[in-house]
Amino acid sequence: MIPLPPPKPEILARRDAIIAALRTLVPGEGVIGDETRLKPYETDGLSAYRQPPLAVVLPTTTEQVAAVMRYCHGNGIRVVPRGAGTSLSGGALPLADAVVIGLMRMNRILEIDFDDRLAVVEAGVTNLGITKAVEHEGFFYAPDPSSQLACMIGGNVNMNSGGAHCLKYGVTANNLLGLKLVTPEGEIVEVGGDHLDTAGYDWLGLMTGSEGMLGIVTEVTVRILRGPEGARAMLAAFKGTEIAGAAVDAIIGSGIIPVALEFMDKPCIHACEAFAHAGYPLDAEAMLIIEVEGSVAEQDFLLARIKEICARFDPISLKVATSAEESMAIWKGRKGAFGAVGRISPDYLCMDGTIPTGELPFVLKRIGEMSTQYGLQVANVFHAGDGNLHPLIMFDANNPASFRAAEDFGADILKLCVEVGGCLTGEHGVGVEKRDLMHVQFQPHELAQQRAIKTAFDPAWLLNPHKVFPLEALPQ
């Protein structure tokens, strides 16, 4: 288990006084102090880790957030920001002596402008909520993490969330214009704006993916895009992972950037097929789902080109959807992949490394060997265009040895990702989960440099101090 910093006894001792003070800052139902109502806030998507906070505050305005931050800063109280709590890396995991600031009640859409192609929303608006608010005009908000029904834009900004379609549309950082945020000292500032490229240091870029360590995001100005005329998927199954990898290279090499290019290995194909009956070929070692966009004629043309490329790699099966329904059927298994694995094993860890795409066959072979070595099953889904690998490691949560083995297995996979030229996390963030692996990717002076920037924003290290960086350097 990954350790948390010890709580400050003097803060725990002042618990009642702190809650009373918070109630004056956020009136009404905005402060939670009793144990049973704190329970839902003790964990997030990384549910193996649990720690109830000192208190939870649910502000409704940026000014309230600033007041709470000023109070906590003045009193040396740690703060943990929280959106929907869907982080898979423990990004919202509290501390016993910390106040959780939950942004879920700040859920208003403040402005939508189709001509300027932007929307201004509060941090607690869900990712899908933005798309829902603009889709009647044919628009959408592009980043689509698989938790998009629940996850909130404030959390997306802090984790720089990705999704299945970032090969074409980029990640959160590429779809933002501006932020309103509260600094660790409680000042309200705006970075970026309602235009592209702001002169000066790129605070917007630095804040994005900063995992709640530099400030509390309260408002977000996002770019909204007009959707394509249509989209259609095809499925291609191959006899080997290397062959499928070569087909991916050939597609990209031909100049086509599909809007999605998903890779599933054999265990994943089997799990999804058993769950969703999507008609996936069970004799395949690897399968690709490829999606293109455009008018029907454009889809036809692109899919024909891709089919022709795939045909050169001796496929077991090539299936091009001829309708939206057939596309949905092809996606059905992939979209249910996590649920499908959950049916085989109720407990699994979803890993999130990135590798140079050319290393995929080698990495899958090594993961297979590790799976035997640890005695744990693993299924792999992979955003093949951008190299983001999601191994799902299955374990038994009732058996502490099995959980430890799963964590060790996961760590070994991430070390392998770094070894072949990739990184520890492509879209889930470091959080608590990968905090102690940061030295695998960064040298001590590089971590010190990043920490110095955290210190520049938060000299007292009160904001989310237990995430991203190994604890030994945490200022006492």
Site for other proteins in 142-181 (CB under 8 A): 159-160, 162, 166-167, 170-171, 173-174
Least separation in angstroms between residue 168's CB and other proteins is 10
- 385 lies in the site for other proteins, by CB under 8 A: yes
Site for other proteins in 46-105 (CB under 8 A): none
- 314 lies in the site for other proteins, by CB under 8 A: no
Token pair 């009160």 is found at 462
Q: What 3-state class would DSSP assign to 198?
A: coil
* Nearest to other proteins of 95, 118 (CB atom): 118
Cα 33–Cα 468–Cα 102 angle in degrees, nearest 5:
30
* Residue from 35, 297, 323, 372 binding other proteins (CB under 8 A): 297
**Beta-strand pair 78-82/98-102:** parallel
* Nearest to other proteins of 214, 393 (CB atom): 214
Q: What is the DSSP letter of 137?
A: G
Q: How far apart (Å, rounded) are the C-alpha atoms in residues 198 and 183?
A: 19
* Residue from 42, 135, 249, 285 binding other proteins (CB under 8 A): 249
- 383 lies in the site for other proteins, by CB under 8 A: yes
* Nearest to other proteins of 183, 241 (CB atom): 183
Site for other proteins in 208-237 (CB under 8 A): 208-210, 213, 226-229
* Residue from 29, 36, 199, 325 binding other proteins (CB under 8 A): 199
**How many residues belong to the chain?**
476
Site for other proteins in 392-421 (CB under 8 A): 421
Q: How far apart (Å, rounded) are the C-alpha atoms in residues 328 and 372?
A: 34
* Nearest to other proteins of 30, 353 (CB atom): 353
Least separation in angstroms between residue 175's CB and other proteins is 9
DSSP assignment of 292-361 equals EESSHHHHHHHHHHHHHHHHTT--SEEEE--SHHHHHHHHHHHHTHHHHHHHH-SEEEE--EE--GGGHH
Q: Which residues contact 350 (CB under 8 A, 6 or more apart)?
A: 88, 338, 390, 391, 392, 428
What residue spans of 76-221 are helical by DSSP H? 127-134, 153-159, 166-169, 203-207
Least separation in angstroms between residue 417's CB and other proteins is 9
- 361 lies in the site for other proteins, by CB under 8 A: no
- 115 lies in the site for other proteins, by CB under 8 A: yes
